[in-house]
């Protein structure tokens, strides 16, 4: 296979030349297809020759403990997107650069398995051979059945343009952090749920075992224990150990972001979000309240029924693995997908477009004095706060961080901290919101538990209720943290598995449907075990009902085809169909060499399994079982650990990624938590608006272009608008008038930071107040007596308005002899697209704004240099400046003068008050223009 890049590059040039010299296109046989996916409407510039995919996409992969790295889904969910790009191979690559210390488990010296709250890692990865560059965001999700309870995942933004990835690193990082937080939040809830169920199972099992033992005891009068009895006792003991372990885990997961309520009380969550969930909860309570019924392993009620399980340690991981969806709770999963789609929409396309837009927005923000005139400032204000905050702060943090780091290079935190400490685990924790910039203790200072609590508390006390208000719940110091946990853990377990839960109901203090934001923990580093254990608090959970649903999906599917069907049933439209080589991880060569047909036709016979988006189905267990014992970590370190960074940014990316690891993500976590809550509720508030704005611009630009071509008197009309003379568009048909108003609105300078002074449709007679308020008005022409009044008023106030009659195609307005507008609105313009024209207008208007700015802020043009200087000489100076320096002629002066007045008004306005609108006018004769 010819490697594409060189050929394509060459032919491209040739083609261009050919086109230049010979008019007729090349015969088909000679023309090399420039761009294999051109038919899909993608632009050829975005594609680097060597890349095998057509456009940017997001890939979610998992390092499965059973089969190793595997792709799960892509966004957008379109097979064409990834093209011939080998997702499996790339998954391997991106999963191999995980810097997270994802090992969780049973650290030596501690009694119970520990959860590791690991921070996401963010790296940039380049594969020049594949032509793929990726921003890779690693995250760890918890799964009770997984090895070490963790499932490493990663999300990658893959683009053929390495510059884009590098330039947009901050933005990508922030956006992906949001998505990651969303996933993790859902995951923690699901994990806690799972633990609870497991606990119930264990509890139930213990009761059953206990009863059996008792029966045996009674039955056995011999005074010695049978082997059977001893077995039973052992089993019972192991169940109890398991219970303690799981309780501990539950506490850990709950302690994660917690606020605590009362000192000693354990506050598990209860279902509360949906009425049916509450019902389910009751049912469950009922069902569980008589657990002592012997012999019954299955109470088949719709709510969760404790099952008899085999006593074994919590570290069992030979079970089926859950899908991502199951891991994260369907609600959060879809939220995350939405977020990812939004990311994709935001960052796709040409890097220079992205960059230009960012730069222009940043510049526009700087032009605080003039930007309100023609720009949509509300858009600047609204959308960017988040963005700006993120951008500035994040960048600051990074800069600072880089400095710091160059001085004292750091060890990758989670790894180091883990290794270094067993007994007293260092905490990396910051008071996020107030002083995120503070250099933090990374390795170091073992905090006193109390202090830790304070810190943690300071960080994590926000809980976002449905009304989006932040509840800060009272903080509390667990005075006897350790003993408490001890007592909790070793508490003689009550016969009823519901004992723990019975407390729950009375303890709810949070509003009905509040969702706890679990993502605010600044650094999800290790938390000392004692502390964690003694740090119980409530978690507001998703209803159990969700869980039940999730649970139902666990039902084994033995037929892989069925799994596909189920996918359809589940309606997971967002999920991509991805291919996975089943043989992955066998030998390194085998996965370094991608199968040629991989992207195209996955089929079972070829040893390629088509897996549904839900990564682990029961159905595949069999297939994967073979590799069950394979250590994925070994595979990675053996095969691909020396990851390739982009050669151009070797240290940079490392530093950035590392610093982002601690600093950036930290400093942004506040934002991301805020943002994630919005995105939890209403998916992507900023972007649709922005896109609507784009659409509007496009439409307005198109209409304006049409207006300019259609009406020879477009110039005086536009001049009217620019010079602040109200233009009334008069017409019978609302649609036509509104269209014209929309078209012309792009020329209307705003008077303040509010909406443009444009009124699309008025049916009543106009008044002088209207001219003060509106600069562009659509007016209805009626034949009725009321219509006569309308016209009467219009003629009365004719000195304040220009009238564009849409019906008779006439314009009555002052003469315009300037040159400015002709540049703005050339009817012979070659511009064809509305958005292009809009941009053209914006650029000319921006130029105009800068002139107005210069004019406004030149002291001597408005005020005398010396006290004795007569007013006339100031006027002369002013006129000279306008004419000679700014090169304005005739009526153009008035445009700049009007804009200057607006600038002055805006600048001198009192902070509390808006600009008082005033009507400026000239006593100039009007003329009637006809087509």
Partner 1 sequence: KSSVQTIGEEQIQNPYTELLVLKGHQDIVRFLVQIDDCRFASAGDDGIIFLWNAQTGEKLFELHGHTHKITAIAPFSSSGASEEKKHFILTASADKTVLVWDCTSGRQIQKVSCFHSTVKCLTVLQRLDVWLSGGSDLCVWNRKLDLLCKTSHLTDAGISALVELPKNCVAAAVGKELIIFRLIPSNDGSEGWNVLEVKRLVDHQDNILSLVSINDLTFVTGSHVGELIVWDALDWTKQASECNFWDSSVQPEIKLSQSPNETSVQHLTSDEECVFAAIGKGIHVYNLQMKRVIAWQRTAHDSSVLHIEKLPNGQLISCSEDGSVRIWELREKQQLPAEPVPTEKINCDFCQNKISFPPPPPGFFSMWGFGRANKQPNQAAKKIQENTPMYFLELVGDLIGHSSAVQMFLYFGELGLATCSADHLIILWKDGEQESRLRSLTLFQKLAQNGDLQL
Q: Is 552 or 863 the residue whose CB approaches partner 1 more closely?
A: 863
**Alpha carbon separation from 415 to 410, 418, 496 (Å, rounded):** 11, 5, 41
| Closest distance to partner 1 from the beta carbon of 766 (Å) | 10
Q: Is 310 or 796 the residue whose CB approaches partner 1 more closely?
A: 796
What's the CA gap between 454 and 456, in Å, rounded? 5
| Closest distance to partner 1 from the beta carbon of 754 (Å) | 18
Q: Is 225 or 921 the residue whose CB approaches partner 1 more closely?
A: 921
What's the CA gap between 295 and 199, in Å, rounded? 19
Q: Is 800 or 838 the residue whose CB approaches partner 1 more closely?
A: 800
Q: Which has the closest alpha carbon to 73: 569, 612, 616, 583? A: 612
- Cβ neighbours of residue 251 closer than 8 Å, sequence gap 6 or more: 266, 485, 488, 532, 533, 535, 536
User: What is the per-residue burial (b if ≥16 Cβ within 10 Å, else e) of 376-396?
Assistant: bbeebeebbebbebbbebbee
Q: Which has the closest alpha carbon to 709: 617, 831, 624, 794? A: 831
Q: Which helix (H) or strand (E) holds 842?
A: helix 834-856
Q: Is 419 or 817 the residue whose CB approaches partner 1 more closely?
A: 817
**Alpha carbon separation from 138 to 123, 413, 526, 720 (Å, rounded):** 8, 15, 17, 57
| Closest distance to partner 1 from the beta carbon of 857 (Å) | 8
User: What is the per-residue burial (b if ≥16 Cβ within 10 Å, else e) of 531-563?
Assistant: bbbbbbbbbbbbbbbbbbebeebeeebeebeeb
Q: Is 626 or 924 the residue whose CB approaches partner 1 more closely?
A: 924
In whole angstroms, what separates CA 554 from the centre of its chain? 29
| Closest distance to partner 1 from the beta carbon of 926 (Å) | 6
What's the CA gap between 872 and 855, in Å, rounded? 17
Q: Is 789 or 850 the residue whose CB approaches partner 1 more closely?
A: 789
What's the CA gap between 864 and 675, in Å, rounded? 52
Q: Is 825 or 915 the residue whose CB approaches partner 1 more closely?
A: 915
| Closest distance to partner 1 from the beta carbon of 893 (Å) | 13
Q: Which has the closest alpha carbon to 812: 713, 918, 671? A: 713
Q: Is 272 or 770 the residue whose CB approaches partner 1 more closely?
A: 770
What's the CA gap between 215 and 837, in Å, rounded? 88
The burial class, CB within 10 Å (0-12 / 13-18 / 19+), for 229 is middle
User: What is the per-residue burial (b if ≥16 Cβ within 10 Å, else e) of 233-268?
Assistant: eebbebbbbbbbbbbbbbbbbbbbbbbbbeeeebbb
Q: Is 689 or 874 the residue whose CB approaches partner 1 more closely?
A: 874
Q: Cβ distance 180 to 287 under 8 Å? A: no
Is beta strand 726-731 parallel, antiparallel or unpaired with respect to 776-780? parallel
Task: State the residues that interact with partner 1 by CB under 8 A.
Answer: 767-769, 772, 792-793, 795-799, 856-857, 859, 862-863, 897, 901, 904-905, 907-908, 916, 918-926
Q: Is 832 or 868 the residue whose CB approaches partner 1 more closely?
A: 868
Helix (H/G/I), strand (E/B), else coil: 334 = helix
Q: Is 586 or 904 the residue whose CB approaches partner 1 more closely?
A: 904
| Closest distance to partner 1 from the beta carbon of 83 (Å) | 55
Q: Is 202 or 728 the residue whose CB approaches partner 1 more closely?
A: 728
Instruction: Work out the angle between the directed axes of helices 169-219 and 544-552 (0-180°, nearest 10).
Output: 80
Q: Is 23 or 867 the residue whose CB approaches partner 1 more closely?
A: 867
| Closest distance to partner 1 from the beta carbon of 887 (Å) | 21
| Closest distance to partner 1 from the beta carbon of 869 (Å) | 13
Mind giving me the DSSP string for 362-429? HHHHH-TTTTTTTS-HHHHHHHHHHHHIIIIIHHHHHHHHHHHHHHS----HHHHHHHH-SSS-----
What's the CA gap between 342 and 336, in Å, rounded? 10
| Closest distance to partner 1 from the beta carbon of 903 (Å) | 8
| Closest distance to partner 1 from the beta carbon of 769 (Å) | 5
Q: Say which DSSP state 474 is in.
A: P
| Closest distance to partner 1 from the beta carbon of 853 (Å) | 12
| Closest distance to partner 1 from the beta carbon of 432 (Å) | 33
What's the CA gap between 774 and 756, in Å, rounded? 8
| Closest distance to partner 1 from the beta carbon of 392 (Å) | 22
| Closest distance to partner 1 from the beta carbon of 725 (Å) | 12
What's the CA gap between 165 and 351, in Å, rounded? 9
In whole angstroms, what separates CA 39 from the centre of its chain? 30
Q: Quote the Cα angle for 538-542-543, to 5°.
A: 110
């Amino acid at each position: 296979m010819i490697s594409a890049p060189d050929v394509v590059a060459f032919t491209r040039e040739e083609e261009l030349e050919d086109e230049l010299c010979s008019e007729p296109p090349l015969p088909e046989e000679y023309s090399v297809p420039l761009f294999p996916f051109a038919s899909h409407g993608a632009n050829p510039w975005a594609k680097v020759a060597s890349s095998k995919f057509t456009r940017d996409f997001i890939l979610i992969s998992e390092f499965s403990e059973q089969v190793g790295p595997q792709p799960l889904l892509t966004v957008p969910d379109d097979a064409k997107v990834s093209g011939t790009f080998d997702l499996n191979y790339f998954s391997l690559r991106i999963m191999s650069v995980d810097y997270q210390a994802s090992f969780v488990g049973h650290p030596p010296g501690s009694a119970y398995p520990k959860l590791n709250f690991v921070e996401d890692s963010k790296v940039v990865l380049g594969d020049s051979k594949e032509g793929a560059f990726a921003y890779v965001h690693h995250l760890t999700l918890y799964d009770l059945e997984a090895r070490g309870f963790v499932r490493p995942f990663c999300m990658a933004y893959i683009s053929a343009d390495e510059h884009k990835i590098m330039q947009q690193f901050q933005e990508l990082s922030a956006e992906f952090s949001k998505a990651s937080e969303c996933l993790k939040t859902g995951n923690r809830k699901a994990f806690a749920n799972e633990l609870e169920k497991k606990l119930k199972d264990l509890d139930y099992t213990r009761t059953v075992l206990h009863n059996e033992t008792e029966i045996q005891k009674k039955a056995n009068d011999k005074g010695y224990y049978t082997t059977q009895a001893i077995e039973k006792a052992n089993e019972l003991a192991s169940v109890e150990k398991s219970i303690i372990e799981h309780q501990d885990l539950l506490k850990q997961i709950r302690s994660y972001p917690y606020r605590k309520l009362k000192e000693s009380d354990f506050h598990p969550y209860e279902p509360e979000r949906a009425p049916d969930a509450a019902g389910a909860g009751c049912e469950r309570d009922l069902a569980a309240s008589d657990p002592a019924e012997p012999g019954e392993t299955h109470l088949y009620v719709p709510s969760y029924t404790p099952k008899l399980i085999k006593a074994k340690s919590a570290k069992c991981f030979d079970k089926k693995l859950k899908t991502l969806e199951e891991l994260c709770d369907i609600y959060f999963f879809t939220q995350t997908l939405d977020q990812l789609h939004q990311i994709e929409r935001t960052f796709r396309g040409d890097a220079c477009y992205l960059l230009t837009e960012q730069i222009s927005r940043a510049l526009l923000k700087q032009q605080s004095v003039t930007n309100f005139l023609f720009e949509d400032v509300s858009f600047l204000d609204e959308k960017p706060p988040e963005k700006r905050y993120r951008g500035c702060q994040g960048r600051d943090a990074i800069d600072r961080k880089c400095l710091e780091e160059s001085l004292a290079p750091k060890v990758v935190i989670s790894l180091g901290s883990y290794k270094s400490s067993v007994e007293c685990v260092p905490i990396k924790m910051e008071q996020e919101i107030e002083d995120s910039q503070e250099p933090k203790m990374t390795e170091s200072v073992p905090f006193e538990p109390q202090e830790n609590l304070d810190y943690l508390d300071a960080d994590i006390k926000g809980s976002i209720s449905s009304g989006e208000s932040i509840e800060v719940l009272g903080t509390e110091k667990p005075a006897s943290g350790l003993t408490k946990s001890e007592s909790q853990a070793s508490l003689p377990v009550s016969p009823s598995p519901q004992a723990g839960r019975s407390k729950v109901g009375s303890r709810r203090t949070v509003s009905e449907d509040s969702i706890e934001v679990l993502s605010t923990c600044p650094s999800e580093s290790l938390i000392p075990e004692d502390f964690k254990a003694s740090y119980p608090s409530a978690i507001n959970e998703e209803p159990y009902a969700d869980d039940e649903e999730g649970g139902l999906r666990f039902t084994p599917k033995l037929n892989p085809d069925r799994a596909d069907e189920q996918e359809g049933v589940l309606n997971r439209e967002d999920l991509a169909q991805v291919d996975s080589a089943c043989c992955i991880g066998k030998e390194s060569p085998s996965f370094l060499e991608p199968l040629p047909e991989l992207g195209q036709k996955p089929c079972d016979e070829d040893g390629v399994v088509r897996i549904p988006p839900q990564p682990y189905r029961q159905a595949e267990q069999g297939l994967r079982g073979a590799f069950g014992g394979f250590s994925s970590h070994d595979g990675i370190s053996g095969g691909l650990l020396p990851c390739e960074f982009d050669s151009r940014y070797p240290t940079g990316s490392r530093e950035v990624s590392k610093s982002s690891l601690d600093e950036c993500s930290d400093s942004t976590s506040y934002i991301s938590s805020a943002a994630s809550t919005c995105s939890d509720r209403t998916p992507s508030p900023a972007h649709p608006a922005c896109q609507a704005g784009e659409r509007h611009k496009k439409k307005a630009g198109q209409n304006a272009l049409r207006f300019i071509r259609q009406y020879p008197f477009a110039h005086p009309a536009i001049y009217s608008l620019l010079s602040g003379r109200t233009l009334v568009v008069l017409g019978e048909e609302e649609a036509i008038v509104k269209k014209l108003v929309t078209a012309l609105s792009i020329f209307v300078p705003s008077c303040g930071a509010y909406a443009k002074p444009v009124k699309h449709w008025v049916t009543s007679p106009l008044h002088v107040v209207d001219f003060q308020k509106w600069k562009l008005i659509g007016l209805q022409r009626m034949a009725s007596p009321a219509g006569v009044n309308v016209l009467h008023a219009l003629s009365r106030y004719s000195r304040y308005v220009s009238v564009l009659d849409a019906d008779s195609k006439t314009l009555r307005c002052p003469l315009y002899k300037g040159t400015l507008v002709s540049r703005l609105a050339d009817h012979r313009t070659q511009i064809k697209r509305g958005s292009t024209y809009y941009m053209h207008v914006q650029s000319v208007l921006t130029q105009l704004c800068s002139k107005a700015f210069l004019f406004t802020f030149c002291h001597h043009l408005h005020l005398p240099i010396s006290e004795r200087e007569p007013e006339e000489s100031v006027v002369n100076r002013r006129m000279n400046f306008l004419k000679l320096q700014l090169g304005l002629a005739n009526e153009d002066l008035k445009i700049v003068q009007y804009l200057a007045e607006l600038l002055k008004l805006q600048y001198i306005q009192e902070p509390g008050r808006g600009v008082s609108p005033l009507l400026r006018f000239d006593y100039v004769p009007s003329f009637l223009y006809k087509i």
